[in-house]
Amino acid sequence: MSAVLAAQPSLRARADGISIRDVQMVYRRGAQTTTALAGCDLDIPAGSWVSLIGASGCGKSTLLRILSDIVQPTSGQALLGGLTPAEARAQRRFALVSQHAVMLPWRRVLANVELGLEVARVPKAERRRRAEEAIDMVGLRGFEKAYPSELSGGMRQRAAIARALTLKPAYLLMDEPFGALDELLRDRLNFELLRILNETKATLLLVTHSISEAIILSDKVVVMSPRPGRITREIDIDFGHNRSPTMRDDPRFGRLESELRHALGDSMGDEHH
């Protein structure tokens, strides 16, 4: 009995995380077929942070779209906490944040942040409380009554993250969320996101083209090959969860950047072998 009980936490951690098993994605247009993903396997433990990097068109965003129930894989299985993406969506277990913050221009920040809860028919008082809490968390207090046109790009992106956080997602799926921002702002928002992740304990799956961003925001960086997308390397990032900008000065940071650059180069080379 004790052996069974001892095994339970690891089984539960696996069930609570993200699991991708032999996922293949083939797009068909007339007589033409394009294999976007082939034989992808990945386990992301609950509460951990993982980044996907690889060449444009390697299927990173396709994996995110499969997990967020936007497209169905041709074969294989993707689960979030043991639920299919459709089940996880119905239970509002995940939130998706993309590169371009989509805000309704006629609604003020507070009303935009409340939108997901409004769709979910959460009572007005609870909606307001959770939206204000999320706005505070992303550092936008004082801008509740501003319109999207009055915000900078970084502030609009933070508002989009706040809207995602109102749903209290167990899984935060992010597709190049800071890709359109300048490097200084992007760097600052990376560390704001780390603070939010530590507060919410959400599991993060991030798509990025930035090697340094992947290191800052990950426990593990997953390298994908060009189309058809396959997972070629998984590189552990051993900085713990209490991170600060000084991590860039750690010699390990430079070594990891070099290792990831080589891994990306190797995955590009595999395409031609």
Residue 71 placed within a domain: yes
Among 124, 148, 168, residue at a domain's last position? 168
247 shares a domain with 193: yes
Q: What is the pLDDT of residues 63-94, one digit of tens each?
A: 999 999 999 999 999 999 999 999 999 988 99
Q: In what order do the strands lie in the sheet with 203-207?
A: 94-97, 171-175, 203-207, 49-54, 220-224, 231-236
54 has which bridge partners?
224
Residues 203 and 261 in one domain: yes
How many Å from the N-terminal Cα to the C-terminal Cα in the chain? 51
| One domain, residues 150 and 212 | no
Q: Is residue 22 part of a domain?
A: yes
- Domain annotation covers residue 8: no
Mean residue pLDDT across the chain: 86
CB 67 within 8 A of CB 18: yes
Residues 104 and 68 placed together within one structural domain of the fold: no
Residue 227 maps to a domain? yes
pLDDT digits (tens, 9 = 90+) for 8-32: 333 333 458 999 999 999 988 888 8
Q: Are residues 88 and 198 in the same domain?
A: yes
Residues 81 and 112 in one domain: no
Residue 1 lies in a domain: no
Query: In total, how many domains does the chain have?
Result: 2
Its domain, for residue 58, covers 16-93+170-273
| Strand stretches in the chain, DSSP E | 18-29, 32-44, 49-54, 75-80, 94-97, 171-175, 203-207, 220-224, 231-236
Looking at 124, 149, 168, which one is the last position of a domain?
A: 168
Domain of 74, CATH number, reads: 3.40.50.300
pLDDT tens digits, one per residue of 171-193: 999 998 888 777 887 888 899 88
